[in-house]
Amino acid sequence: MHSFCNWISKRRSNILVLTAALMVALTTLTPTPADATSRIKDIADVEGIRENQLIGYGLVVGLDGTGDTLNNAPFTLQSLTSMLERLGVNTRDTDLNTDNVAAVMVTANLPAFAPQGTRIDVTVSALGDSESLQGGTLLVTPLMGADGEVYAVSQGPVAVGGFTAGGDAATVTRGVPTNGRISNGAIVEREIKFEMADLGVLRLALRNPDLTTARRIASAINAFLGRSTAEAQNPTTVQLAIPQDYRGTAVDLLTDIEQLRVEPDTPARVVIDESSGVIVMGRDVRVSQVAIAQGNLTISVTETPQVSQPNPFAETGTTEIVPRTDLNVQDSEDRRLAVLDGSVSLQVLVDGLNALGVSPRDMITILQSIKAAGALQAEIEVL
């Protein structure tokens, strides 16, 4: 009897251990509310901390016969002549006929608070009829901002990922050989002044404007600071008055609040790219009760002309082309009317459209028709 009780006790202990392990596993696999949250730094930008776009015009030299044709690209000829004159070489009355030079546009992004001497990457793109920038070197090119001031200077060998190879009868091109990149190819010459320490108010700009998300960000900041300092002004902007204990240390304040987590809220939206047939639907897309029928009518016309010739050595007759047309009509008669019950979710909508056997192109038309019928509770955005 005593051994039987011990056996029962051990069985109960094992069951409790297995139950506890199962609960831990379920807790691990079940999504927690934190899984749907994002850091403030991932959904909002700080006003004033931004990149600036730079652009410049330059010449790439050292090409192996793949440069611009000077007769077809007069801007390349003028730029080459002007550059040589600045270097003391007069070519005004000379007929230049080189194909080792290409005119290019140079672009770059100037990071926020980039000091003088900082190196940044640049992108080089052919402007004329150059076939490839492979093996070329960009000459000194000033990079200007939108205000016309020079903020960086670029120079260096161009790295091209694509290539072109071929002969008299065939040519193979892979990638884009007329576009390249120079890693650390520009040096910052002018800084953009912006003093964060003197700011009394910070403004956060939401990357995806939404009233609910802006309010949640303001509430999270106020709860962290323990005072009402943040206010959602509109769907895009949250204004934050810097507290007295953070004056002069705005960086510390931003470091603290950018790690706070909030749950972004987005409107129900269906994004359609008609050029590629891509459809993206948000999780909150709902469809009221609606009936859908989809049928395909395919008409194929094939032309196979034949040549009719007279018999050999015939005194009369001419060679004629006789048309031959094959016409085929296919109508999908097995398409039936499908009913989607009221207020179905995104998953049910997708399953219903897939059950109809429709293609992405047909789905675009169906979604637009559902929206026109007033049954799609979402916004449709066509790219």
The predicted-structure confidence for 14-67, as pLDDT tens digits, reads as follows 544 444 443 433 343 344 444 578 899 999 998 888 899 999 999 999 998 889
Residue 380 has pLDDT above 70, yes or no: yes
Do the domain assignments include residue 23? Answer: no
Tokens encoding 116: 């003088």
- Are 122 and 82 members of one domain? yes
pLDDT bucket at 159, cuts 50 / 70 / 90: very high
Residue 168 has pLDDT above 90, yes or no: no
Do the domain assignments include residue 56? Answer: yes
- Are 137 and 207 members of one domain? no
- Are 280 and 342 members of one domain? yes
With 0-12 / 13-18 / 19 or more C-beta atoms within 10 angstroms meaning exposed / middle / buried, residue 21 is exposed
Q: For the packed helices 211-225 and 250-257, what is the interaxial angle rounded to 10 degrees? A: 110
Q: C-alpha angle with apex 45: 39 to 47, nearest 5 degrees?
A: 145
What local confidence, expressed as pLDDT, does residue 110 receive? 94
Tokens encoding 308: 């009719």
The predicted-structure confidence for 255-297, as pLDDT tens digits, reads as follows 889 999 999 988 888 888 877 777 887 777 777 776 666 665 4
- Are 261 and 279 members of one domain? no
Q: Read off the pLDDT of each residue in 329-345 and give the average, rounded to a whole number.
A: 55
- Are 352 and 364 members of one domain? yes
Boundary residue ending a domain (188, 218, 241): 188
Do the domain assignments include residue 313? Answer: no
Tokens encoding 224: 């962290």
pLDDT bucket at 313, cuts 50 / 70 / 90: low
- Are 104 and 90 members of one domain? yes
Do the domain assignments include residue 72? Answer: yes
- Are 59 and 181 members of one domain? yes
Task: Tell me the CATH number at 43.
Answer: 3.90.1150
What local confidence, expressed as pLDDT, does residue 268 receive? 81
pLDDT bucket at 250, cuts 50 / 70 / 90: confident
Do the domain assignments include residue 1? Answer: no
Boundary residue ending a domain (173, 188, 203): 188
Q: How many domains does the chain have?
A: 3
* β-bridge partners, 102: 60
CA dist., res. 325 & res. 330, Å (int): 16
Do the domain assignments include residue 37? Answer: yes
CA dist., res. 373 & res. 39, Å (int): 39
Give residue 118's identity as a one-letter amino acid code: T
Q: Are the C-beta atoms of 376 and 285 separated by less than 8 Å?
A: yes
**Dihedral sign, Cα of residue 78, residue 80, residue 83, residue 89:** negative
> Which domain, by its residues, includes 210?
33-49+195-265
- Are 372 and 285 members of one domain? yes
- Are 355 and 301 members of one domain? yes
Beta strand pairing status for 269-273 and 379-382?
Answer: parallel
4-8, 93-97, 139-143, range with the lowest pLDDT: 4-8
92-96, 125-129, 235-239, range with the lowest pLDDT: 92-96
**Can you give the chain as a three-state secondary structure string?**
CHHHHHHHHHHHHHHHHHHHHHHHHHHHHCCCHHHHCEEHHHHEEECCCCCEEEEEEEEEECCCCCCCCCCCCHHHHHHHHHHHHHCCCCCCCCCCCCCCEEEEEEEEEECCCCCCCCEEEEEEEECCCCCCCCCCEEEEEEEECCCCCEEEEEEEECEECCEEEECCCCEEEECCCCEEEEEEEEEECCCCCCCCCCCCEEEEEECCCCHHHHHHHHHHHHHHHCCCCEEECCCCEEEEECCHHHCCCHHHHHHHHCCCEECCCCCCEEEEECCCCEEEECCCCEECCEEECCCCEEEEEEECCEEECCCCCCCCCCCEEECCEEEEEEECCCCCCEEECCCECHHHHHHHHHHCCCCHHHHHHHHHHHHHCCCEECEEEEC
Q: Whose CA is closest to 227, among 248, 212, 206, 242?
A: 242
- Are 258 and 294 members of one domain? no
- Are 82 and 181 members of one domain? yes
pTM reported for the whole predicted model: 0.65
Which is more confidently placed, 257 or 165? Answer: 257
Instruction: Please give the mean pLDDT across all residues of the chain.
Output: 79
With 0-12 / 13-18 / 19 or more C-beta atoms within 10 angstroms meaning exposed / middle / buried, residue 144 is middle
Residue 300 has pLDDT above 70, yes or no: no
